[in-house]
Structure 1
């Protein structure tokens, strides 16, 4: 994979399909639509289990649910091929503890004829029953083949698959949160109970020791591959470049040996003081490899990055909110040089510049603006009532000049930028926010509901 290609592995959702009906409606037509519905789902490229056979009673629904359960689906797609009471829906939900996407079809008959299907009413009665049983519910309305029909399903499916991955996720914590960075602290037990993530800790001095003894050939290979896309690395102090490669090898070995999805790293003051390196570009290089990396030991920030990467299939970034421009309705998102190369704005040159850290004046840190396009800002945090998830869609503007040394993104939310800033500050959100390419609000809304935490949409 090219380091300039912003694509990441995302979990593939598994779908189950069940079709319910009553014999007093237009069953032949309903069966045709069920067959088309199954084919349309399969064309989306998702694994789909189930069949187009119409279920007519609770016993048939029970038997189908047992068969579907064996495939451990993430979402049950329930086609209300005709009206039905909720007994079959409840039976399916009893066996399949997954969110449900109801599908209601359009009425085919001519004006003045009876309801052929009454499908929408069937979906309505099913939704009421499912919500009473505690299920997360979304719905589709339309016939197979309609444009954008599956948008709500895709959001729910991505959220459900991400929730599944979060339940088995593992992150590494290198060091502890810096003094006074209370928003970077976390409760291990609450994190595992609510989100599912477990944490493996690594002492900073062990990292430094492992880096100093890292295999020479591995360090040289890491430096060479980085210089290939960032020749500016060669202009930095050789000893700092060597430490960059050594820290990369040590941290990557830790990630692999512990089978981790990413890291939250205490990047100062010990890294520059005791090891002679700012690890910004080291973390960016690891992010190029597909791992998520959060600065300042922000573990909840790392989880935010993880869920955004799995929802979107793109690389996210953690940043500070550093400026507000009321005239352009934008906020500036910045951090000191840890962005992966795939987020770099395409400029006249192909190089992704690396330089010294803007404050510490030692290497190695990135220095480039973030590429423009639709984007979503999000933050998993802890409020007065426990975990909560904030999100807002918008766009990153095309800014040819990197406004602040390091990595800068100018974000225009769909809401008022001042209102976004108000909510972040007045509601006491942690100071790091994450952003990722694409619009992910529907999936984030569903994920918050699946995790049973507060979702805060702006």
Structure 2
């Protein structure tokens, strides 16, 4: 409503104002329904300025009346807007013309939301890198410079020495470790595992959570074979799954690309 009396974007002179509204609101994506022909240059400028995942859709047009007139022309408007978006170099998604209460619209909209979440998490991500890749794993070689230059993705390194010291210190003195051990034992059977090792598992989980929060990490790439076993006597696979369940994806063998995807 702050844009115009109708709350609609009509011309390109208002596109900058509309973009500022979205940018100030820190939106994650933009949906541009074309309920009629639409104003392609205004929509394209808005999409370019906001720079977020962009979705086009219009209702299925009715058949022309007997005199040849039409109530609207959404389909043609979408042709025009999509062409200008391509000219502006703006990637976009499109839902086939459909009714808003149809399965086609629901499926397309949900797919777009999922894709937008993935895209927003990918760009400018921060990936925690635990040690280097194991020597035998050439498949996880990564170009940090390209990740940063093309997509703003940063790697945040930490050594296994740092991990070892933090885990051992926490297992001895952090009161949260005992609480975590009790919580884990309530739902997991640690058969034939020494209490000290269970504490280290709990401490590793807490340490990684603290690190992820402190560094604002999107995901973690962990060298889980086999230096950690030699240093702490535990494997991180269980902890990796625990963090992933908490919304912090963890990839094995310092696989940074794997953590991203």
Q: Same fold (TM over 0.5)?
A: yes
Q: What runs of 5+ residues in structure 1 fail to find an aligned partner?
A: 1-16, 18-48, 305-458
Q: Is the 8 A contact 2:144 2:155 kept in 1?
A: yes
Please state if 1:160 is matched with 2:116. Answer: yes
Distance in 2 (CA, whole Å) between partners of 1:94 and 1:290 is 31
Please state if 1:191 is matched with 2:155. Answer: no
Q: Is the 8 A contact 1:172 1:202 kept in 2?
A: yes
Q: Do the aligned partners of residues 198 and 142 (structure 1) sit closer, same or farther apart at CA in structure 2, a change above 3 Å counting?
A: same
Structure 2 equivalent of residue 129 of structure 1? 84
Residues 223-372 of structure 1 aligned to structure 2 (within 5 Å): 223-230=181-188, 232-304=189-261
How many residues in Structure 1 have an aligned counterpart in Structure 2?
256
Residues 46-85 of structure 1 aligned to structure 2 (within 5 Å): 53-61=7-15, 63-84=17-38
Distance in 1 (CA, whole Å) between partners of 2:52 and 2:73 is 25
Which of 54, 61, 64 does residue 107 from structure 1 map onto?
61
Distance in 2 (CA, whole Å) between partners of 1:289 and 1:67 is 33
Q: Do the aligned partners of residues 52 and 278 (structure 1) sit closer, same or farther apart at CA in structure 2, a change above 3 Å counting?
A: same
Secondary structure of the residue aligned to 2:190 is helix
Structure 2 equivalent of residue 222 of structure 1? 180
Q: Is the 8 A contact 2:181 2:202 kept in 1?
A: yes
Please state if 1:180 is matched with 2:129. Answer: no
Please state if 1:207 is matched with 2:163. Answer: yes
Distance in 1 (CA, whole Å) between partners of 2:246 and 2:208 is 12
Q: Is the 8 A contact 1:74 1:157 kept in 2?
A: no
Secondary structure of the residue aligned to 1:233 is coil
Q: TM-score, normalised by structure 2?
A: 0.82
Q: Is the 8 A contact 1:99 1:135 kept in 2?
A: no
Structure 1 equivalent of residue 72 of structure 2? 117
Distance in 2 (CA, whole Å) between partners of 1:211 and 1:57 is 59
Q: Give 1:120 deviation, angstroms.
A: 0.6
Secondary structure of the residue aligned to 1:235 is coil
RMSD: 3.0
Distance in 2 (CA, whole Å) between partners of 1:279 and 1:183 is 20
Distance in 1 (CA, whole Å) between partners of 2:242 and 2:193 is 16
Q: Do the aligned partners of residues 149 and 210 (structure 1) sit closer, same or farther apart at CA in structure 2, a change above 3 Å counting?
A: same
Distance in 2 (CA, whole Å) between partners of 1:92 and 1:52 is 18
More helix by share: 2
Secondary structure of the residue aligned to 1:264 is strand
Secondary structure of the residue aligned to 1:200 is strand
Q: Give 1:55 deviation, angstroms.
A: 4.6
Distance in 1 (CA, whole Å) between partners of 2:139 and 2:153 is 18
Structure 2 equivalent of residue 89 of structure 1? 43
Distance in 1 (CA, whole Å) between partners of 2:162 and 2:191 is 28
Q: Give 1:285 deviation, angstroms.
A: 2.8
Distance in 1 (CA, whole Å) between partners of 2:17 and 2:195 is 68
Secondary structure of the residue aligned to 2:165 is helix
Deviation string for 1:292-340 (max 9, x for gaps)? 2122111211111xxxxxxxxxxxxxxxxxxxxxxxxxxxxxxxxxxxx
Q: Give 1:227 deviation, angstroms.
A: 0.8
Q: Do the aligned partners of residues 50 and 153 (structure 1) sit closer, same or farther apart at CA in structure 2, a change above 3 Å counting?
A: farther
Residues 372-387 of structure 1 aligned to structure 2 (within 5 Å): none
More strand by share: 1
Deviation string for 1:338-367 (max 9, x for gaps)? xxxxxxxxxxxxxxxxxxxxxxxxxxxxxx
Q: TM-score, normalised by structure 1?
A: 0.50
Q: Is the 8 A contact 2:10 2:39 kept in 1?
A: no
Secondary structure of the residue aligned to 1:278 is coil
